[in-house]
Amino acid sequence: MPITNTLDLETLSARMDAWASEEGSKRGRLVRVFRANLGNSPDLQAARLTLLIGYAERA
């Protein structure tokens, strides 16, 4: 399922899996916070997902 013209769900998921284990990186921390749904806010989750998609498209 395409998320953007250059990124599909499988690619995003694979990149998030790889980033989750990055201890010192911003994107690793962002993945962990996204998955834990800290704050339990749909708006925060949408913002986090937008940032993750941006990182994935640049990778």
Asked whether residue 27 is assigned to any structural domain, the reply reads: yes
Asked whether residue 16 is assigned to any structural domain, the reply reads: yes
Query: Is 58 a residue whose pLDDT tops 60?
Result: yes
Asked whether residue 54 is assigned to any structural domain, the reply reads: yes
Number of compact structural domains in the chain: 1
Asked whether residue 17 is assigned to any structural domain, the reply reads: yes
Asked whether residue 1 is assigned to any structural domain, the reply reads: no
pLDDT tens, position by position, 30-56 = 999 999 998 999 999 999 999 999 999
pLDDT band at 25 (very low <50, low <70, confident <90, very high): very high
Asked whether residue 3 is assigned to any structural domain, the reply reads: no
- Give percent of the chain above pLDDT 90: 78
CA 34-25-48 angle, 5° bins: 25
Asked whether residue 33 is assigned to any structural domain, the reply reads: yes
**Contact residues for 15 (Cβ-Cβ < 8 A; gap 6+):** 55, 56, 59
Task: State the pLDDT at residue 22.
Answer: 94
Task: State the pLDDT at residue 13.
Answer: 94
Domain residues for 28?
A: 9-58
